[in-house]
Amino acid sequence: AREEGMGGAPSGGGGGFVSGLYNYMFTPSKTKAAEDDDLRRGDDDSNGRRKHSRTHPPTDDDILALLPLPPRTSASTAKTSPSRPSPLKRPRTFSSDSSSSSSSSSSPPQARLLTVHKHLTLREYRISASTAPRSTEREGYSIERHIAPREEDGSFDVQQWGASAERRYRNIDVVAPPRLTTDGRSVVLAVRVSNVVAGAVEEEGGADATARIYLLRLSLDTYTVVDAAWLNRHSGESVSEIGGSVACAGLAVGDSDDGAADDDYADGARVGCAAVAYVAFGPPPEITAGEGTTTGGRLPVTVTAVRFSPLLSGGEGRSPKPAAPPRIRDLDLFEHLVPSLVADSVSYDSTTGGCLFLSTAGLVCGAHVRFPPASEAGQGRTEAIPRRTLEGGLSGEGNDDLEASFRDEAVLAIKSHLLSSFRQYLGRTRDGGANLPFVARSVAPPSILSCSSAVLSAAVVLASVSIVNSASAGGRVGGAKMATTAPPDNAMAALREKHKWHADFVKFLLHAGAYKKVSATGRTKLRDHGEMIAAAGATLSECRRCLTEMDAGADKDEGEASAFRREVVEALAGTSDVVADLPRRWDDLQRPSGTDPDMDMDMDMDSMMLTLSCVCRGLGEAFRYRANESTNLYDIPHHDPTLCGKGTIPWTSSTEVLAVLHQQLEKIQLFGDSVLSSSSNYEQDKLALKRLVEDASVSLLAGYHDHFRCDPQNEEIARLYDEAKRLAIPLLRTSYVNEDGDDIQALEMSLKHSCFEGIVQICHDHRRSWKFCGPFSPVPPDETYDIRLMLSGTSPESPYVHLHGSTDYRTGLPFCDFVLNWYADRGSNTEVLELGKECSEALTRFLRNDNRLGDLAWIHDLRIGAHERAADTLVNLTSSIFRGKDAGAPMDLWENEQVMSLAKLSNKLARSKNPDSALVARNSTIIENSLNLVEAQRILQEDDLDGDGSEAILPPDELIVLAVNKINSSRDVENIKKYGLCGLAIAHATSSEDAIAMIHGAATIWEACIRSDIHTWNSLARENSMAVTGISEEDLSQRVRGTAFVGVNGEFATSSGGSMQGVGFLSNVHVRRRVLESLGSNEDLGKLLVHSAEMVGDESCSFKG
């Protein structure tokens, strides 16, 4: 029927059923002529859709496939959610049920046929299945659609398919018979698009590199493409029409449970069920027969499963839309089982829901792909995972959650492509002599080069994990089947084989042109896998060496040694199989090495040394591999500090490895000395332990540094890093590690990892070696331990600049503040001020915030020129600042005089800088008063100072009392004048703090001076009152000149210069009133005193004049 009825018109004009059916189908009815003319003109149809014109209308010889369709459902039925038929029962495409035909007398039953023409033109035909007279229902072809409209230049526009690369192609053809979905609402087509037609290929003698295979899902309601999936496992030259290395062997479509019930969708929203399409590709017959191809080599048989999601209603008059994008899985079959497929042998397997196909090897094979629910598969598409997660996870930016990328379906698909093509690469290059770049490019699918860098990087990492964790020997590379534990004799050979596979995989990526798209994070992970293989081999080798040495020991208990050996072998079992589990193997290895007191001490030493030796030897081999292969094989720097992110942290810094190192160093810290002291071979074990402690400490600190550099704000990482510093650096200073006592390595580690405690302690312990001993010392200062250089090393060129950008975890202090605080805690104030010369800003900040050295802040202020602040600090000092005195002891008179003298000089310098400063003016007054008090006390105590604590500073009120006592006890007017002036100076010194105290003090001094000559004054007062005209001024002046009161007044008037008017007898009325009140109610005496004082004042003025 296909040859006679579909290939062209029957020959010879003969009749027959086929000929009649052909003429009936392909002769349009008269009622259809007008619509057909509209179709050919490209007018809009009744739904408003454009009917594209085409250069060549389809003819009968263009037909590629004929597909019977189920009867079209009514509009009401179409809006309801279709019921899914049982997988074991396929729906019937033709219905001759009489009941259905009798249900509508006006619409006799009709069969629907769909023809698929070249260039994806579709026609639907209706054929009446009744012998009743013809009704008004149209027959013949009634619908024509162009899935890929042809443009004016002859190309086809496939933009509506969602193609990711080219939008137009010159040639389109169907590569497999189309299939209906089980719900009968859509049809699935496998089409090939290319830019070179077959004739052009033959003329040019090459294949088409732009060819692609698409799987289309067409809605039978609107005849539009509602879903499209690019099958990127094979593209380009491999699927070219002429010279391609694979051909489509068939298509099968089955039902799929989409994991969602009908209740998950709104009423009427779901108009089509989910479906799974299986497309098989295999070598074409000419390759199977051994003929050459343009691509050079055979590709494996591949079954691609595509899951189409349920169709949802797009609205009135619109095409339905899929609930989610298609999901794709590729299965590469093994060549020894399925070398190729029999053409068109692919069919749906209703039992499993998969597909069946026939191998040319005579086997009936099946394939079934289970698509997990969207929640298990990252929602079934890359977009379900935030793009920043997928791109950042392997590009060194943003979130580094690689696990999210590894669950992405696009990543998993590219991973399967990589493993399949790598297996082919190994098979074709096994014997040597092959052109490696040519072979790699020929087997690499286009999907590898067309995917994004993030997807490819994640897929490369996953594929590499499969390789290093694959069968140890004789197994499949990246295969799903895992071999059992390799025998000890074969473990090293298996690791060497895996290392070769790993190196070949990297070279394959390089030759295929894909390695340049792998991100720095992806390359780091690849290098990690190579390092793990090298470290696993070194671990096994070191373990064997240690066990051999244990067996050679003469003092070992045979039973305990045998039990320990079994524990070690059990812990390392499977190391050569699952290489990625090496850190867990190390953790298992250290479990039997606990310090059990019941165990023999020699055995405990051996167990501790074995575990640490295996771990350090493995890490050392990994570091050597990194140094040798980073540039040569992986094209990345050995260490790149610009990369920050979890993905860039090497495996040697993983939390599992660091936990093992930390536990081993803790055991050495607790039991190292005791175990080593009981060793039967002390010197040898000491040397070995020294090397292991150094290696483990360096690795531990470097690992936490990697984490801290990538995430400095992580509190947990900062805490663990600090604990590692406090564990490792003291171990590096122990006697069995630091034999010479130079602490060079401990200092280097402290500086590198900003361990402030270690730096200060080491430099302090070695301070004699770096301190300058004077200009005549033959020993120059040692800059190695010179902490002054570290404190001042803030320039970018300094090797210590990084210290000033770090803070101590426990105190939160920056480096300079930590050093100053460290010495202040130990009472070394001199060291604080001396070292503060190298970091003046830090010292200023420290002195302001720390009260322990607040009394010494003026020293630093004078050093930096802050004279105003220095003067203010000196003025407010109350306790002694000199060594040899108890803390908080008050200053003595001499010390106070020195401090105030220094404050006076500093305040003068401050006034020269800021003459209008109120603080300078206030301090100037305080300083002058303080110095006056010191001088007055010295005058008053000049006869009493004995040098035995008598120079204690007296308060002003006590000094006033002392001055009065001196006045009362003296009979010499000159001495009284001296004491009186001292008393007035003392009273004036209190004026800035207490005016009442000043008045009281001054009045007390004047009263004492008057009472020293009270008899003379009383006599003169009586005589002056009895005389009619009083005593003459000349006579009065002569008679009072020898009194203390007049003498003090004279000295006060001439020496004070007006600065002490507040304590004067005449200048301060309050002082005068209080003096007169204290002398009683003798008005004559008061007038005489005032008159005498005025005469002295006038004389002083005349003298001055």
Cα–Cα dist 302/331, whole Å = 5
Which helix or strand (DSSP H or E) is residue 775 part of? none
Most confident of the following: 125-139, 252-266, 505-519, 846-860: 505-519
The predicted-structure confidence for 337-364, as pLDDT tens digits, reads as follows: 888 888 888 999 888 889 999 988 888 9
The predicted-structure confidence for 74-121, as pLDDT tens digits, reads as follows: 444 444 444 444 444 444 333 333 333 334 444 555 677 888 877 778
1053 HSE (CA, 13 A, CB side): 21
Q: What is the pLDDT of residue 201?
A: 43
Partners of 769 in beta bridges? none
Q: What is the pLDDT of residue 394?
A: 34
Q: What is the mean pLDDT of residues 364-390?
A: 56
Q: What is the mean pLDDT of residues 910-925?
A: 89
Q: What is the pLDDT of residue 884?
A: 52
Q: What is the pLDDT of residue 289?
A: 53
| Helix, strand or coil, per DSSP, at residue 961 | helix
Q: At what angle do helices 582-590 and 601-629 cross, to 10 degrees?
A: 160
Q: Is 418 exposed, middle or buried (0-12, 13-18, 19+ CB in 10 A)?
A: buried
CA 20, chain centre distance (Å): 76
User: What whole-number percentage of the chain has pLDDT above 90?
Assistant: 21
Output the DSSP codes for 53-65.
--SS---GGGEEE
User: What are the structure tokens assigned to 675, written together?
Assistant: 């175990």
Q: What is the mean pLDDT of residues 11-22?
A: 43
pLDDT bracket for residue 405 (50, 70, 90): low
pLDDT bracket for residue 155 (50, 70, 90): confident
pLDDT of 46 over the 80 cut: no
Q: What is the pLDDT of residue 487?
A: 47
Most confident of the following: 211-220, 663-672, 757-766, 948-957: 757-766
The predicted-structure confidence for 804-830, as pLDDT tens digits, reads as follows: 999 999 999 999 999 999 999 998 888
pLDDT of 740 over the 70 cut: yes
Beta strand residue intervals within 399-554, DSSP E: none
Q: What is the pLDDT of residue 167?
A: 60
How far is the CA of 646 from the CAs of 132, 623, 630, 706, 772, in angstroms?
77, 19, 19, 9, 47
pLDDT bracket for residue 450 (50, 70, 90): confident
pLDDT bracket for residue 626 (50, 70, 90): very high
The average confidence (pLDDT) of the chain is 77
Partners of 321 in beta bridges? 312
β-strands 171-180, 168-169: how paired? unpaired
The predicted-structure confidence for 982-998, as pLDDT tens digits, reads as follows: 888 888 888 767 888 88
Q: Which residue bears the tokens 């042109």? A: 513
pLDDT of 283 over the 90 cut: no
pLDDT bracket for residue 771 (50, 70, 90): low
Q: Is 955 exposed, middle or buried (0-12, 13-18, 19+ CB in 10 A)?
A: exposed
pLDDT bracket for residue 896 (50, 70, 90): confident
Q: Say if CB 746 and CB 732 are below 8 A apart.
A: yes
Q: What is the mean pLDDT of residues 709-722?
A: 91
SS (H, E, C) 69-117: ECCCCCHHHHHCCCCCCCCCCCCCCCCCCHHHHHCCCCCCCEEEEEEEE
Q: What is the pLDDT of residue 953?
A: 85
Q: What is the pLDDT of residue 777?
A: 63
Q: What is the pLDDT of residue 876?
A: 87
Q: Say if CB 584 and CB 618 are below 8 A apart.
A: no
DSSP at 4: I
Output the DSSP codes for 518-580.
S-HHHHHHHHHHHHHHHHHHHHHHHHHHHHHHHHH-SS--HHHHHHHHHHHHHHTTTTTTSGG
What are the φ/ψ torsions at residue 864 (nearest 5 degrees)? -100, 0
How far is the CA of 198 from the CAs of 203, 298, 681, 929, in angstroms?
9, 22, 83, 114
| Helix, strand or coil, per DSSP, at residue 1043 | coil
Q: At what angle do helices 995-1011 and 1014-1026 cross, to 10 degrees?
A: 80
User: What are the structure tokens assigned to 178, written together?
Assistant: 């189309």
Cα–Cα dist 991/989, whole Å = 6
Q: At what angle do helices 1083-1104 and 1014-1026 cross, to 10 degrees?
A: 100
**Least confident span in 516-520, 556-560, 759-763:** 556-560
Tell me how long the chain is: 1105
Q: At what angle do helices 756-765 and 715-732 cross, to 10 degrees?
A: 20
Q: What is the pLDDT of residue 818?
A: 95
**Least confident span in 118-122, 228-232, 617-621, 1002-1006:** 118-122
pLDDT of 538 over the 90 cut: yes
Q: What is the mean pLDDT of residues 204-226?
A: 77
Cα–Cα dist 998/968, whole Å = 20
Quickly count: other Cβ atoms within 10 Å of residue 928's Cβ. 17
Q: What is the pLDDT of residue 555?
A: 58
The predicted-structure confidence for 158-207, as pLDDT tens digits, reads as follows: 777 764 545 677 788 888 889 988 888 889 999 888 876 544 444 444 45
Output the DSSP codes for 133-195.
PP-SS--EEEEEEESS-B-TTS-EE-GGGT-SS-SEESEEEEEEEEEE-TTSSEEEEEEEEES
pLDDT of 718 over the 90 cut: yes
Q: What is the pLDDT of residue 644?
A: 59
Cα–Cα dist 609/685, whole Å = 9
Measured over the CA atoms of residue 667, residue 670, residue 673 and residue 675, the dihedral's sign is negative
User: What are the structure tokens assigned to 904, written together?
Assistant: 């006076």
pLDDT bracket for residue 514 (50, 70, 90): very high
pLDDT bracket for residue 693 (50, 70, 90): very high
